[in-house]
């Protein structure tokens, strides 16, 4: 039984889709005018884990995540760049998809774009006009909040509270056209020279909120099983989606509302205007994308995620201790996976050994943690126990005359498969990841891989000539640089200390 906190009822409750066995999931996607930042990474890792967990629990999930490719921020940035708005939006949509893939997120089943759903948006606005939930004013169309008595139910506020907040954010012209200060635009007239589309109400652009109601209905029907997004979307975006969708259909819009917490830096919500903004790409230059993924899972998805970094005297960012720690965990994960994969066949025998509890119980522990409001920190604690168990298994196999049973090894392999299935971790080739981490650490320490390989070759030559003093001196000089040599039957390998 999966239980998730529901924003509408403000309680943890069982996730019960309308049609048993199926889950219609809609998540608000990005506005594509810039690169994805850590806030996006966190948000979409949360819903990726949710979708993976639902699927691993046997549900047939349809995952829809939109792309907002019509927006004032896109127009502004395109004008600054001197390029067409759609070209800018398409470019950043591609960058965004690349970044999400590098984080290990599965692609949504449907990724609808606003620019491709204008007919559905027109139809929904017309339906709201027909039902007197909306009105036309000077080429704009507004939703009349007073026509929808339960307006405010998601964000747990009432219309009197909204008057103050809403009236501050709109210009005087717009205020004069509205019947109630909290009324919001479904369609905005576009002045000449500004991007616009012809509509039954004149040339203009859709309001932001209407797109999600129109696109979710187009791809999932009138009632969704689960809608997700950042906490900042509860009001007004999701509140408005409910008003639009329920106003038009007369049916409940969504059975379960999930919202994730912010990324905070210096206890402040991460935002570009504060100058403390890191794109996902900038972070991927410094650490493995999978370490970024891991880091976002270290706190509960509803809690704020605080990011720390270190600075040099000139104020340049020198490091991210939390990412570095996460990367150490990822390196440990892959080193463990590599050990398990390279157990010699002669050490694994057909014997009815019982797996250690950390291995045998891992899949259940993982599922149970995620069932309980997607508790990823608890899932990572179970992972930590599992990896310890697998290392002990490898130690036992590699001990003098050591052997382990096939069932035990199979259980450990299944654990890795479950880890990938539910958390999206550990799916890459272990050797590739470990070498990449090593070479990045070496470069950060000013050590080049080619230089180390040359030194290893020189040491081999020195030993062949029985010049052990020189061989030892080469080793010592590498140790000084943080390079550790490992002599094995297949030659010498190296790691960074």
Establish if 425 lies at the interface with Zn ion (CB under 5 A): no
Establish if 32 lies at the interface with Zn ion (CB under 5 A): no
Which stretch in 23-31, 169-177, 367-375, 428-436 sits in contact with Zn ion by CB under 5 A?
23-31
Please identify, using beta-carbon distances, which residue of 249 and 276 lies nearer to Zn ion: 249
Residue 413 DSSP SS3: helix
**Cβ 184 to Zn ion shortest distance, Å:** 13
Which stretch in 117-125, 135-143, 207-215, 352-360 sits in contact with Zn ion by CB under 5 A?
207-215
Please identify, using beta-carbon distances, which residue of 37 and 293 lies nearer to Zn ion: 37
* Binding footprint of Zn ion, residue count (CB under 5 A): 2
Task: Provide φ and ψ at 364, rounded to 5°.
Answer: -65, -45
CA–chain centroid gap for 90, Å, is: 20
Please identify, using beta-carbon distances, which residue of 237 and 286 lies nearer to Zn ion: 237
**Cβ 62 to Zn ion shortest distance, Å:** 17
Angle formed at CA 180 by CA 178 and CA 183, multiple of 5 degrees: 70
Please identify, using beta-carbon distances, which residue of 28 and 430 lies nearer to Zn ion: 28
Please identify, using beta-carbon distances, which residue of 28 and 437 lies nearer to Zn ion: 28
Query: Among 70, 144, 212, 369, which residue sits at the site for Zn ion (rule: CB under 5 A)?
Result: 212
Task: Provide φ and ψ at 19, rounded to 5°.
Answer: -105, 115
Which stretch in 22-30, 303-311, 325-333, 439-447 sits in contact with Zn ion by CB under 5 A?
22-30
Element (H, E) at 205: strand 202-206
Which stretch in 20-28, 54-62, 142-150, 332-340 sits in contact with Zn ion by CB under 5 A?
20-28
Please identify, using beta-carbon distances, which residue of 114 and 394 lies nearer to Zn ion: 114
Q: Which two tokens stand for residue 219?
A: 């791809």
Which stretch in 1-9, 206-214, 292-300, 372-380 sits in contact with Zn ion by CB under 5 A?
206-214
Angle formed at CA 56 by CA 54 and CA 59, multiple of 5 degrees: 50
Element (H, E) at 151: none
Radius of gyration of the chain measured on its C-alpha atoms: 27
CA dist., res. 210 & res. 160, Å (int): 23
Establish if 411 lies at the interface with Zn ion (CB under 5 A): no
Binding mask 58-97 for Zn ion (x = CB under 5 A): ----------------------------------------
Residue that has been written with the tokens 């600054």 in this structure: 80
Q: What is the 3-state secondary structure (H, E, C) of 268-333?
A: EECCHHHCCCCEHHHHHHHCCHHHHHHHHCCCCCCCCEEECCEECCCCCEEECHHHHHHHHHHHHH
Establish if 214 lies at the interface with Zn ion (CB under 5 A): no
| 20 Cβ contact partners less than 8 Å away, ≥ 6 residues apart | none
Please identify, using beta-carbon distances, which residue of 28 and 46 lies nearer to Zn ion: 28
Please identify, using beta-carbon distances, which residue of 67 and 134 lies nearer to Zn ion: 67
Which stretch in 21-29, 34-42, 376-384, 436-444 sits in contact with Zn ion by CB under 5 A?
21-29
**Cβ 351 to Zn ion shortest distance, Å:** 55
Task: Provide φ and ψ at 379, rounded to 5°.
Answer: -65, -40
Alpha helices in 19-132 (DSSP H): 38-56, 72-81, 85-102, 118-130
Establish if 224 lies at the interface with Zn ion (CB under 5 A): no
Which stretch in 3-11, 14-22, 28-36, 472-480 sits in contact with Zn ion by CB under 5 A?
28-36
Please identify, using beta-carbon distances, which residue of 30 and 405 lies nearer to Zn ion: 30
Establish if 370 lies at the interface with Zn ion (CB under 5 A): no
379 closest CA partner among 52, 5, 103, 102:
52
User: Alpha-carbon dihedral of residues 258, 260, 261, 265, nearest 10 degrees?
Assistant: -170
Query: Is there a cis peptide before residue 275, judged by omega within 30 degrees of 0?
Result: no
Establish if 226 lies at the interface with Zn ion (CB under 5 A): no
Please identify, using beta-carbon distances, which residue of 67 and 297 lies nearer to Zn ion: 67
**Cβ 237 to Zn ion shortest distance, Å:** 6
Please identify, using beta-carbon distances, which residue of 112 and 355 lies nearer to Zn ion: 112
**Cβ 83 to Zn ion shortest distance, Å:** 25
How far, CA to CA in Å, does 60 sit from each of 19, 21, 53, 183, 214? 10, 6, 11, 37, 23
Q: What's the helix, strand, coil split of the chain in %, to 5?
A: 50, 20, 30
**Cβ 112 to Zn ion shortest distance, Å:** 11
**Cβ 139 to Zn ion shortest distance, Å:** 24
Could you tell me the sign of the dihedral formed by the alpha carbons of 388, 392, 398, 403, in that order? negative
Establish if 28 lies at the interface with Zn ion (CB under 5 A): yes
Which stretch in 24-32, 247-255, 272-280, 394-402 sits in contact with Zn ion by CB under 5 A?
24-32
Q: Site residues (CB under 5 A) for Zn ion?
A: 28, 212
């Amino acid at each position: 039984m999966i239980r998730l906190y529901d924003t509408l009822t403000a309680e943890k409750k069982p996730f019960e889709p309308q049609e048993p066995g199926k889950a219609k999931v809609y998540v608000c996607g990005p506005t594509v005018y810039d690169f994805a930042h850590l806030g996006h990474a966190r948000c979409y890792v949360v819903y990726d884990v949710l979708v993976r967990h639902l699927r691993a629990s046997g549900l047939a999930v349809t995952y829809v995540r939109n792309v907002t490719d019509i927006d004032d921020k896109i127009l502004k940035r395109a004008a600054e760049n001197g390029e067409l708005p759609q070209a800018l939006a398409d470019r950043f949509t591609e960058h965004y998809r690349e970044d999400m893939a590098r984080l290990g997120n599965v692609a949504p089943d449907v990724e609808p774009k606003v620019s491709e759903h204008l007919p559905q948006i027109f139809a929904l606005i017309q339906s709201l006009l027909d039902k007197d939930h909306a009105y036309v004013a000077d080429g704009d169309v507004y939703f009349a909040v007073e026509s929808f008595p339960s307006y405010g139910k998601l964000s747990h506020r009432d219309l009197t509270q909204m008057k103050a907040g809403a009236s501050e954010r709109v210009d005087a012209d717009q205020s004069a056209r509205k019947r109630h200060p909290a009324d919001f635009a479904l369609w905005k007239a576009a002045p000449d020279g500004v991007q616009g589309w012809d509509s039954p109400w004149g040339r203009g652009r859709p309001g932001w909120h209407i797109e999600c109601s129109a696109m979710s209905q187009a791809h999932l029907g009138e009632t969704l099983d689960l809608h997700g997004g950042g906490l900042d979307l509860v009001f007004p975006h999701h509140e408005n989606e409910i008003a639009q969708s329920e106003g038009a259909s007369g049916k409940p819009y969504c059975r379960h509302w999930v919202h994730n917490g912010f990324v905070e830096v210096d206890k402040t919500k991460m935002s570009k205007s504060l100058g403390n903004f890191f794109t996902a790409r900038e972070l991927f230059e410094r650490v493995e994308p999978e370490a970024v993924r891991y880091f976002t899972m270290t706190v509960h998805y509803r809690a704020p995620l605080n990011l720390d970094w270190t600075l040099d005297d000139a104020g340049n960012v020198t490091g991210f201790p939390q990412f570095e720690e996460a990367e150490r965990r990822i390196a440990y994960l892959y080193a463990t996976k590599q050990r398990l994969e390279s157990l010699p066949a002669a050490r694994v025998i057909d014997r009815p050994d019982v797996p250690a509890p950390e291995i045998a119980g891992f899949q259940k522990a993982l599922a149970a943690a995620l069932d309980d409001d997607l508790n990823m920190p608890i899932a990572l604690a179970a992972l930590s126990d599992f990896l310890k168990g697998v290392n002990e298994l490898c130690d036992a196999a590699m001990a003098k005359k050591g052997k382990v049973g096939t069932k035990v090894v199979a259980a450990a392999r299944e654990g890795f498969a479950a880890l990938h299935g539910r958390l999206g971790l550990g799916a890459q080739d272990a050797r590739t990841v470990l070498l990449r981490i090593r070479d990045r650490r070496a470069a950060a320490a000013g050590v080049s891989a080619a230089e180390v390989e040359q030194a290893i070759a020189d040491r081999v030559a020195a030993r062949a000539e029985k010049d052990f003093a020189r061989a030892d001196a080469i080793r010592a000089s590498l140790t000084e640089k943080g390079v550790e040599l490992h002599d094995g039957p297949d030659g010498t390998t190296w790691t960074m200390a």
